[in-house]
Amino acid sequence: MDYKYIEQLIERYWQCETSVMEEQILRSFFSQKEIPAHLLPYREVFVYQQAQQEVKLSADFDEKVLAAIEAPVVKAKHLTMVSRFMPLMKAAAMIAFVITLGNVAQRSFFAEDNLDYNYETYKDTYKDPQMAYEKLSSALMKVSEGINKSQAQLSSDSILNAKNQVDSVSVTE
Amino acid sequence: MKRVLLILWISLISVSVCAQDFASRFLESHKPDTNLTCVTISPKMMEKVMDLDVENEDKLMDMISKLKSMQLLTTQVNGQKYYKEALGVLEKNSDRFEQFLSFEDKSENFQIMVRKKRNAIIELVMLMREDDNFTVINFTGNMSKDFIARLAKAMEPKHS
């Protein structure tokens, strides 16, 4: 079989002188099963071209590309007053938590005694310590008087009770 | 996580909340009452009192050194009414205060209550009614039984 025509076509193909029709002839030739050995090195080129011509885009290609390049739709989100101030509230809550923790730590570690009174609210009546001293001593004396009177009444009551018990025992005898 | 933090915070607040003494509670429950007069001596003033140079009053100064504050409520009207109300407040806070001593006769009543913490008396309240006069003496501090004994001795009637 004479392959001169094919060889010429190949020669012209490399010179970029072949027409579309001639290139189609070449592709058809190399798609055959039996190819002479000296033309075999060219086969892959034309088989590849043939195969690539059959590759087609899928039906949803356009949709996919358009979806990929279209700008995303940003929907406006309605912000409520609460959600707007949420970061601020979170910060305030954290500050309150830390202050409370510090307060508790201070009370636990530095409390000088058992006293748990809020002395911060105390407003002194006197500015002069001498007047405060006089009021204090008079109050202490009143408490002292109260203790003594209570104790005296308690002891007289117990004596009276004891006497009544003795009387009742002697009557029964 | 948020719930844990909230629970922790609430428990911390409950620990850190400061207590009020009896006089403050009583005064708060009677706001606004123009009949009641309140004299307050704060811990800061107590410190100033301790710095005073008082002659021949060592025992008294020693007793004052055990005190942290004093509140004194007085009124000269409706003594019986206020006395009963004060007893009511004490009853409401019976888990806090325990009765220490009391005295009663026709013209006057005394009621002494104490608040204890770890065996120390940290608050002493005396309610006093004499006719229409009513007085609340409220001390806070670190008072022991020895303090009470010495206080009683300060005005002990002398037996001949």
The residue with greater pLDDT, B91 or B3, is: B91
- Closest partner residue to B126 (CB to CB) among A122, A137, A146 is A146
Which pLDDT band, with edges at 50, 70 and 90, does A107 fall under?
low
Q: Average pLDDT, stretch A112-136?
A: 83
Q: Average pLDDT, stretch B79-108?
A: 87
Q: Average pLDDT, stretch A23-34?
A: 90
pTM of the predicted model, to two decimals?
0.60
ipTM over 0.95: no
Chain A residues whose CB is inside 8 A of the B18 CB are 116-118
Q: Treating both helix axes as pointing N-terminal to C-terminal, what angle do A20-30 and A4-14 enclose, rounded to 10 degrees? A: 120
CA-CA distance, B28 to B85, in Å (whole number)?
A: 13
CA-CA distance, A68 to A147, in Å (whole number)?
A: 93
- List all residues 6 or more positions away from B57 whose beta carbon is below 8 Å from its beta carbon: A137
Q: Which residue of A has its CA nearest to B45?
A: A129
Name the least confident of A23-27, B11-15, B22-26, B42-46: B11-15
| Partner A, chain B 73-92, Cβ-Cβ below 8 Å | none
The 10 Å Cβ neighbour count of residue B142 is 17
Q: Average pLDDT, stretch A73-84?
A: 84
pLDDT(A10) > 90: yes
Q: Average pLDDT, stretch B46-58?
A: 85
- Closest partner residue to B151 (CB to CB) among A107, A125, A144 is A144
- Owner of token pair 């309610």: B127
Q: Give the per-residue pLDDT at B139.
A: 93
CB–CB of A136 and B117 under 8 A?
Answer: no
CA-CA distance, B135 to B90, in Å (whole number)?
A: 15
What is the DSSP annotation of chain A? ---HHHHHHHHHHHTT---HHHHHHHHHHHTSS---GGGHHHHHHHHHHHHHHH----TTHHHHHHHHHSPPPPPPPPPPHHHHHHHHHHHHHHHHHHHHHHHHHHHHHH--SS--B-GGG---S-S-HHHHHHHHHHHHHHHHHHHHHHHHHHHHHHHHHHHHHHHHHHHH-
CB contact, 8 Å: A151 with chain B?
A: yes
Chain B residues whose CB is inside 8 A of the A140 CB are 60, 63-64, 151, 154
**Torsional class of B55: left (φ above 0), alpha (ψ -120 to 50), beta (otherwise):** beta
Longest CA–CA separation in chain A, Å: 162
Q: Average pLDDT, stretch A113-120?
A: 72
CA-CA distance, B74 to A142, in Å (whole number)?
A: 13
The residue with greater pLDDT, B57 or B113, is: B113
Q: How are the residues of chain B apportioned to helix, strand and coil, as percentages rounded to the nearest 5?
A: 40, 35, 30
Q: Give the number of A-B residue pairs with CB atoms closer than 8 Å.
A: 149
Q: Which residue of B has its CA nearest to A137?
A: B60
Q: Average pLDDT, stretch A25-30?
A: 90
pLDDT(A160) > 80: no
Q: How far is CA A148 from CA A118, A144, B136, B154, B157, in A?
A: 31, 6, 17, 10, 8
Kindly report the average pLDDT of chain A as a whole number.
84
pLDDT(A18) > 90: yes
CB B141, CB B69: distance < 8 Å: yes
Q: Give the per-residue pLDDT at B160.
A: 41
Q: Give the per-residue pLDDT at B39.
A: 93
Q: Which two tokens stand for residue A77?
A: 């989100």
